[in-house]
Every structure is written in structure tokens, then in C-alpha cells.
Structure 1
């Protein structure tokens, strides 16, 4: 068990932080919601009712969809786009899908390679795109949840104009919720790409080794 915890500590710690933040959001969002309802003379909700409400769901998934969009764009864009000197980028000479030998697929795979990397054909093709495809699916799923939950929440608001699901997709509320999250994700990616050229975090694989030249790409510390 100790070995398992050590070898999976990065995932476990961040899942723990996620759950702690989610619980904190539940309590804070519940208090804010009831304050707003009381000010409008509307019924308040118990904590359990708020947990399963559209208001809580839309606040949660609007953040999820922007994160998965960020990772989908990041893992696919970095196939073709580079930032000289950033460990987040490949060297300019490796732009593109790279050769089967470099990617260890098909006849270049070894015994430790994943089964679908050795299989060839459609299975290797799908596996070669699997990370981006799953991130895209998670983005579309959570964005769809935001759409439906936001629509339901909007129509439950006594001060908002009721509208159909299709009309809500083109509403200012839906796109404001989406774009305010997207812009922060795009800024974070751009900032990480350029700042990692000139700054270091010793021991982190997201940083170059401390003494590596600023112009060196594709190095991990």
C-alpha cells in the first residue's frame, strides 16, 4: 500500500484537492444561493437539495469543460506548434506526427509497448489519438451538461426570461459562462509555454534543468 501511494501520489493528491475544493464550493455556493433567494423573497434550499440542483451543477461543470478543452487543445496543438526553449514544446525539428520508429508503433514496438501500439491498423491509429479523443469527449460531455443545467437554472430564476433549450445555447448567459472560463485557460497555456523558457522549478518535469540554456526545448528537470 505504501508503494502504491508513493507511485500514484500525484494523481491521489490532486483528486483529494479536487474533492476538498468541490465540498468547499458546495457549502459556499449553498450559502450564496440561499442569501440570494432570501433577498428575493424566494424559497431557500437545504444543502442536500442544493447538491442536486441545476445551479450547483452548472457552476461545477462550467469549470470542468474549460479544463478539458484546455487539455484537448494542448495535446493536439503541441503536435504541430512549438515554442522555442520551452519544455512544454517539442524542438522545431520534430514538428508533426513523427515516424513509426520514433513513436515505437507497429513493427518498431517492443514487448513492453501497449498491445494496441503493436497491433497496427485501426487499433494503432485509434490508440495514437486516444488521449486527445478522450479529452474532446469529456469536454463535449461537460459542456453539454453546462448547457442543459444552465438552461434549467435560467428558467428557474424568477428574474430571468424563460427560453427554450436551443435559444439558451445562443444566449448571453451561456456564452458568458463559457468564454470567461476559456479565456483563462488559454492565458494559462500561453503563460506556461513562455515563462518556462526563462524560469525554472528544480526537480519538476514541467521545467528544464536549472542550468539548461534558455534556448533548449524538450528538456525535463
Structure 2
């Protein structure tokens, strides 16, 4: 019997003898046979009459374990049989579609990250240019605790080029809404600057 048909697997019968690895022939059903072959990610043709895939590529759910073995809690690996609809899903090479999906996912995450950064910069600039606020400490704490969730919810809206200083209804955001898209460091900078301006304004009035 030849080795495992999966392109990145070097297992063959003599190599894995005595290790519990079992080899399964390709299904006779044409559609299932093609599905198995697609999971192998091979460019060269395969003779399906004697081709096989080893057991390390199948999950536990893929095996049909007799009731007696289930009750005894013992299922010899060498005596395992596959379910009719079993598919190889483990230890497989990266197929072209998987690689493409990974690239798309990274690009999407990069876009979301850039959108969040743009939103934070715009909101911070807007807040620092606004009049001093008398936001209570309880509101500050609540805003900081909810910041992580709020950033994720607003990232998609930022990507659509919505103004950072408006809410979903197109109305101007108040201080609490603005703070929800800021990081802890940015909130700290805001309040440090805000306190400084309040102190400066107080000194100006006293003189």
C-alpha cells in the first residue's frame, strides 16, 4: 500500500507500523472521493483505486465506534472504521482558498485598526479644542470600563468615513460619547489638559 495521499504527510505503512496509525482508502462515491482529493492539496494525479489517507487526518467524530466498544470505553485504533460521510480535517496543508481567506482577514483587520486610530485622533483633537467639562468621576470610570467594547462597535462606522464627532443619528456627541472611542492614555491626556485649562481659567478670573 502506498503512503498517505495528503501532500504534506510523509506517513506510509512501514514507517508507522506498530504506532496505531491506520490507512483508509478513498470513498467509492465520486463526489466524496473528489472532496477527499481536494483536501490533499496535490497537483499530481492520484490513483484512487489504491490511494489512501492516514488516520492522523481524521478527528474522533469521524470514526464509527461500535456500541460495545463505547460501553467498555476501549476502541482500538487499528480496528477503527470511518463514518460514510467522514472527511479529513486535521493536519492538512494550506489550500489556496485558505491562504486567500487569511490574506483577506489580515487586510480587513488592518483596515479596522486604521479606522480606529483615525477616529481616536479626530475625537481627541475635537475634545482638546472644546470648552472645559465638569464630567463627574463616576461617569469617567464608567466610560473607561466600557471603552474597549465601544471602540469595536465604532470601528465599522469609522471605515465608512462617518464624522468622528457625530453619533448614529447625525447629532453632535457629548463628552461621554466622545470618550468611548479613546484609549486610556488618550483619556488621561484629555483630563490632564482639561484640568490645566480649568486652573488657568480660574487664575485668570482671580486676577
**If the length of structure 1 is used for normalisation, what is the TM-score?**
0.25
Q: Greater relative contact order (Cα 8 A, min sep 6): structure 1 or 2?
A: 1
**If the length of structure 2 is used for normalisation, what is the TM-score?**
0.26
Give 1 or 2 for the bigger CA radius of gyration: 2
